[in-house]
Structure 1
Amino acid sequence: MYKLFFFIFFLLFFCSASFTKANDRVYLKILNEEGHSVSPDDLNLEKSYQHINLLKQALSRSLSDFYGDGYLTATFDDFTVEDDTASVVFISGETFKWIKLSFDETDPFLMSNLRIREHQFEDNVFNPARFQRLIDRILRFSEQNGYPFAKVKLDSVEIENNSISAQLIYEKNNLILYDTIELLGEPRIHKNYLSNYLNIKEGRVYDERAVKQVGRRLRDLPFIEIISEPVVFFTNEKARLVLQLRNRNASRFNFLVGVLPNNEITGRAVITGEANLELMNPFGRGSRLYLDWQRLQARTQNLEVHFQYPYLLGLPFGIDVEFELYKRDTLYLDLHRELGIQYLMGGNNYLEAFVRNSSTNILSVDTQQILQSRSLPSRLDRSENIYGLKLNYEALDYRFNPTRGWASFLEGAIGLRNIVRNNTIVNINDPENPGENFEFLYSDKEDATINYRIKYHLRRFWNPAHRFVIKTGMRGGVIFSNDDLLENELFIIGGNRILRGFDEASIFTSNYHLFTLELRYILETNSYAYLFADGAFLENPLREDPFKRDYPFGFGAGLTFETAAGIFGVSYALGRQLENPIEFRNGKIHFGYRNYF
């Protein structure tokens, strides 16, 4: 019986709520001053509204429109509500116009930069919002050019026959210059670096834009933490920025161990590894030193050294030096040396012009293959000078584990490649021409070849629900040439960094585009569990059809969690390539550790 009672109670309550909601709708009736009916459409209004509050908001917006057209005395009078009908009387009043707005007392420099002209206000409708925007522009320009205490007011205001004339008075007050930055706490950072980074230098004209960006830009620095919000004190026509900061552990040591159960080359389990050391701000001037060593496959290793030093000579330019050594089994050795000049745009954002020298030394030559084919192999000694540009731009809420924002990287380069004769190949005796060797194979390799390279990496982070983050990404590279490409010129991808689910550095390609979708569940600031999928399109011109093009994909799951000892990570990934079936025994397992200090 009680169930029936509650059912009837719920039904009555629901019907009552629905009936009340339906009866909340209000119909609008508008009259003019003469008592004639006015259509709501003429005033950009609806004939009815779901609730009385929505109607009042609509009436307010309608009046704002009329004010913007110069009807400064427009109003809705005699507002009454009877049953489901609201009645109002609309009085438009007359339009007000500018006769003249004089700028005789306004700074000519300001007038010229803001492109303000008196004729813009002659015989024009008086629009309060437009006039307020003018005042805001003047004050904003003043704040950005050393006059944060500037004032604007109207004088000699006259209103006759709905026509307005006035004089605009502009008072700049004192010119404000930056004083030195004052640091509280004991941050391991030099004032000169902060001054350059924040673009707040002693003796320069005060700019409100730079001051408003101080907090955000300091949060972009991984090695500094803000104790309290920045404060500006104005004394004796000087603006002194006071920062209370402390050091934050940003230098890190990482290592990663990968287990490849069934390597496609050896057929046995292979242990891969990576160790890197990154020193952030070691000298207190924002520099960065990065060392990275990788064992990608059996007898394949990579060493990278990277050094960046910002704000040379107090200018927004930095130096970027890279060295990389890559040894591919017993086949060849690659050396890359790079020098770049960066234009610094704040945070981790920069535009860089660079020159790179890249060379390959062949370590072993298959002489039998050359004798049989009477042609050069796909791997050759070479030397190449490369010139290019890089652009890096980030807008992330937290660099180490972002939940919102995006990041982008783009590189474009052109290189002049020369083939270097290999003595082992040259000295092969030609069995078809006794007394001759194979030097003739290099006869069509005398001229330099032009190579073009493009690389990009885009990432986007969304936070659709509490603790859930969606990461999407796209990265790729293209290399093309006016001659045949060599195997040791191609991009090498695959593994934990690029295209998970595959052996490390196992895929050679001249053209690849990788798409990533990742779902993260945030556990703590630096901890999260995730599912991922990587899909790619790639080309290798050295393969025979139908294997020149492929559409590999990988998927898996992982966990990254922070402890007092550091950040640990584990992931498992599977991949499919060249239409081969997915096999769980080929899954790739990676264990990682990261420690900040």
Structure 2
Amino acid sequence: MKKVSFLLLIIYILFSSELFCQNLHLKIDGNTEHETSTIDSLSYTKTHKDYSSIKHEIDSTQKRLFKIGYIENELKNITKINDSSFKTQIHLKKKFNTIYIYYNETEIERSLLEPISKNIFDDYFELEFSKIESTLNFINSKISDEGFPFSKLYLSNIKVKDTSDLSAELIIKSETKKRIISNIIIKGYEKFPRSYLKHFLKIKPSQVFDLTKIKNKTNQLNNLRFANEIKSPEVLFSKDSTTLYLYLEKAKSNSFDGFLGFGTNEETNQLEFDGYLNLNLTNNLNFGESFKLLYKSDENDQKTFQADLTLPYLLKSPIGIDLGLRIFKKDSSFTTINQALKLHYQINSKHKIYTGLLSTESNNLLTENTSLAISDYKTQYYSFAYEFIKPQPYNLLFSINSKLYLETNFGERKALNTQEKQSHFSIDAFKIFNLNRKNSVFLRLNGASLNSNTYFENELLRFGGINSIRGFEENSLFSSLFGLINTEYRYQLNNSIYIHSIIDAAYFENKIIDTKEKLFGYGFGFGILTQAGLFRFNYANGKSENQKFKLSNSKIHISLIANF
């Protein structure tokens, strides 16, 4: 007997919860089949845990019917059919399709109504009944954006106009004065350069308060390397003032970049090394300034030294200055010194324009000038440039989605008591096409052209290497015109590791030796984001159009970009 009682107790414990927590079913009918079909189209929830949930669902269904025009719908009694089923009836009655909303033209501009209504008149506009709520929210947000964040609006004096239409008056209540930003307080990074608020973010005191625009503008902080927004802006309203709080933090913006490359010399069949060091210092003085230092030495006995200084927003103006110095030495053949002075104007967070002067001086180092193509010369250029940068800060590996830099230079060259007009054009652009979270395609276009009646070897354009067409030695190609395309198919294994293909193509001309040639580079690589920085490995093989593939022409490039 005890065993039977114990067994019954177990069965009771296992199944009692289901017995006492059985689902309840709800059925809502209309007064006619058509009304029932309309109610069913709302896809209301039919299964519930308790009676309170059923009552809430019926109330919700009535409100949804009201929003689509059945404002006179009537609920009948809720009937219990059995222990698990309930039934009710809603009489929909007449549906109203259109509402005529009368407004005061001194309170609301007609242009604000044009996106929401096709029929607008001097004192009223027509609107589909189902769009009332979204329309009122839209109008209220626009009024708030104009400096009235505490505005309220509602429909009053609602009347039946005819069998399917209503009329109503739009009432707007707002402050008499627009809210103006009276003060901006920065929390977290108090030394953030204030000029960036005014000229980069376009936020300043005495501006009409518009919280939506402010949030959109502060999102542009992601375009800056040296600052991040740690939370959304906040506002303190008082009777006579509006104080805006921005929450920022200083980010690591300095970087150190270097690579080691090695390959086989075709003449000596010996292993040769090349490499470079690249240092970028940004905003260390809390001014937004940047300083870049580059030193490069490669296997062709070429040495490059480059220093660039950018000072933005001089004297709190929207104008900045760029200074540049570049020294290039080709073994014992010649040296070339380039100096640049440019002024830039930041149009907004993505667009920037430049204008300035470029000067070049090159000296022949050969004691016995066996090459008539190398000569002393000086050039003076007037420069104009445009830059576009679009970031993607959510991606730790590839923080910039697209970039475009265009530069034109016009001037003259002086050499051997002769003067000659010259022009120089260059483009550097890339774009990442994100196919999904892990797959993307990288496409880069780079090219330059030097236009002159005569050419010297020591003024030709130089390209080739890890930052140009891969599979070739650094700066080993001389040209008067070149264009190249870098492509990569990238696959991200996770947020810190990716692998990619390398397919490069280039075309160049050298008018001194009357050469036109096509080049190709093939290979693969990978990148790993470590605590020390981004480590990159590239293996590429380069060949000309009519040259056979040789494994000995392959180049391996290793680089590490460290942020600090």
RMSD between aligned residues:
4.2
The aligned counterpart of 1:11 is none
Q: 1:257 to 1:347 in 2, by over 3 A?
A: farther
Does the Cα contact within 8 Å between 1:361 and 1:382 map onto a contact in 2?
Answer: no
2:556 pairs with 1:589:
yes
- Shift in Å, 1:562: 1.0
Q: From the superposition, tell whether residues 126 and 521 of structure 1 become closer, same or farther in structure 2 (CA, over 3 Å).
A: closer
State the SS of the aligned residue for 1:499.
coil
Structure 1 pair 147–381 and aligned structure 2 pair: CA distance change class (3 A) = same
For 2:475, the equivalent position in structure 1 comes to 505
Q: Secondary structure at the match of 2:332?
A: coil
2:440 to 470, 474, 478: 470
- 2:341 — aligned with what? 339
State yes or no: 1:149 paired with 2:121. no
Counterpart position of 2:55: none
Deviation string 1:523-574 (CA, Å, 9 cap, x unpaired) is: 54xx4242321321312142767x51313223232343413x5544433322
Q: In the alignment, which residue of structure 2 is the partner of 1:103?
A: 104
Match of residue 414, structure 2, among 419, 430, 437:
419
SS of corresponding position for 2:213: helix
- TM-superposed CA distance for 1:147, in Å, is 1.9
Q: For residues 217 and 97 of structure 2, what CA distance do their matches in structure 1 show?
A: 46
- More deviation in 408-417 or 126-135? 126-135
Matching residue of 2:486: 515
What is the deviation of 1:503? 0.3
Aligned to 2:403: 408
Q: TM-score, normalization: structure 1?
A: 0.70
C-alpha separation between the residues in 1 aligned to 2:309 and 2:134?
48
> Contact between 1:217 and 1:346, CA under 8 Å: does it hold in 2?
no
Alignment of 1:334-373 (within 5 A): 334-347=336-349, 349-364=351-366, 367-368=369-370, 370=372
Query: Equivalent residue for 2:425?
Result: 453
Distance in 2, Cα, partners of 1:400 & 1:366: 54
Give, in angstroms, the shift of residue 595 of structure 1.
Answer: 3.1
Whether the aligned pair in 2 keeps the contact of 1:501 and 1:554 (CA below 8 Å) is yes
Contact 1:214–1:230 (Cα < 8 Å) also in 2: no
Report the CA distance between 1:508 and its aligned residue.
2.4
Report the Cα offset of residue 56 of structure 1: 5.8
Partner Cα distance (2:279, 2:335) in 1? 23
Residue 28 of structure 1 is matched in structure 2 by none
What is the CA distance between 1:296 and its match in structure 2?
A: 3.1
Q: Aligned equivalents of 1:299 and 1:189: distance in 2?
A: 44
User: Residue in 1 aligned with 2:83?
Assistant: none
Q: Name the CA distance, whole Å, in 2 between partners of 1:74 and 1:184.
A: 50
Write the distance in 2 (CA, Å) between the matches of 1:228 and 1:326: 47
Of the structure 1 ranges 275-284 and 587-596, higher mean CA displacement relative to structure 2 is found in: 587-596
3-state SS in 1 of match to 2:127: coil
TM-score (norm 2): 0.74
Unaligned runs of 5+ in 1: 1-30, 34-42, 44-51, 58-66, 77-89, 371-376, 422-441
Q: Which residue identity does 1:344 align to in structure 2?
A: Q
Alignment correspondent of 1:236: 239
Match of residue 10 from structure 1: none
Does the CA contact (< 8 Å) of 1:95 and 1:125 recur in 2? no
2:517 corresponds to 1:554: no
Question: What is aligned with 2:281?
Answer: 279
* 1:255 counterpart SS class: strand
Measured against aligned partners, the alpha-carbon deviations of 1:15-62 in whole angstroms (never above 9, x if no partner) come to xxxxxxxxxxxxxxxx998xxxxxxxxx9xxxxxxxx999969xxxxx
Give the distance between the partners of 1:577 and 1:195, measured in 2 at CA: 52
Number of residue equivalences: 491
Q: What is the 5 A alignment of 1:177-256?
A: 177-185=180-188, 188-194=191-197, 196-213=199-216, 216-256=219-259
Give the 5 Å matches for 1:23-422: 72=69, 96=98, 98=100, 101-106=102-107, 110-111=109-110, 120-121=120-121, 126-128=127-129, 135-136=136-137, 138-161=139-162, 162=164, 164-173=166-175, 174-185=177-188, 188-194=191-197, 196-213=199-216, 216-262=219-265, 268-347=270-349, 349-364=351-366, 367-368=369-370, 370=372, 377=373, 381-398=377-394, 401-402=397-398, 406-421=401-416
Take 1:398 and 1:329, find their aligned partners in 2: how far apart are those partners? 44
Quick one: distance in 1 between partners of 2:533 and 2:127? 65
- In 2: Cα distance, 1:461 partner to 1:517 partner: 11
CA contact (8 A) 1:353 1:390 kept: no
Q: 2:223–2:390: 8 Å Cα contact kept in structure 1?
A: no
Partner of residue 76, structure 2? none
* 1:54-75 deviation line (CA, Å, top 9, x unaligned): 9969xxxxxxxxx9xxx95699
Q: Distance in 1 between matches of 2:343 and 2:539?
A: 39
**Alignment equivalent of 1:536, drawn from 502, 505, 516:** 505
Cα distance in 2 between the residues matched to 1:97 and 1:593: 66
